[in-house]
Amino acid sequence: MENGGVDLIFHTNLFSSKTLDLSVHPAQVNMSFYDPVSGGWASVSGVASIIADPATVEKYYSPALSAWLGDLGDGVHDGSPSDPRIGVIKLEARLATYAVARRGAIGRAVETVRSVAGGDVPAVNSIRELSSEELQEWRRTHS
């Protein structure tokens, strides 16, 4: 995470189909996360960019990346910070919506059954949204 946790950072193989897709269609993207245990989720939309700058790669590098890239044995493609395959995808968040679970698994099940029986929508989560303006303010005050 970057900018006080507002923008998301991911390692990537610069020669993968996802980086090709982002190079061709860099406009709006969405990342969603779901926690099946709590029922909470988050949806972050924004603009993605691919960063191949060695200083940025070094900044976010983790030795665990070598396990995912492997060592090709040529002295160049070795999973190290200087491996030309390693890049970073940065998702600059423009809108974030998330749900905080109000109840545990049993409480959600009971609420769902009760709501279905009554023809209502179950109230199992508290939905919150962070606007573009709120995210900009957070960046300004936490970067």
Domain total of the chain: 1
Q: What is the pLDDT of residues 28-61, one digit of tens each?
A: 899 999 988 888 899 999 999 899 999 999 999 9
Q: At a CB cut-off of 8 Å and minimum separation 6, what does 127 contact? A: 97, 98, 99
DSSP string, 57-94: HHHH--TTHHHHH---SSSSSSSSTT-TTEEEEEEEEE
The pLDDT confidence band at residue 22, using thresholds 50, 70 and 90, is confident
Residue 93 near residue 46 (C-beta atoms within 8 A): yes
Q: Does a structural domain hold residue 97?
A: yes
The pLDDT confidence band at residue 2, using thresholds 50, 70 and 90, is low
Provide the pLDDT for residue 96: 94
Tell me, what CATH number does 26's domain have? 2.30.110.10
Residue 37's domain comprises: 8-142
Q: Does a structural domain hold residue 114?
A: yes
Place of tokens 């900044």: 59
Average pLDDT, the chain: 87
Q: Does a structural domain hold residue 2?
A: no
- What is the average per-residue pLDDT within 48-76? 92
Q: Does a structural domain hold residue 23?
A: yes
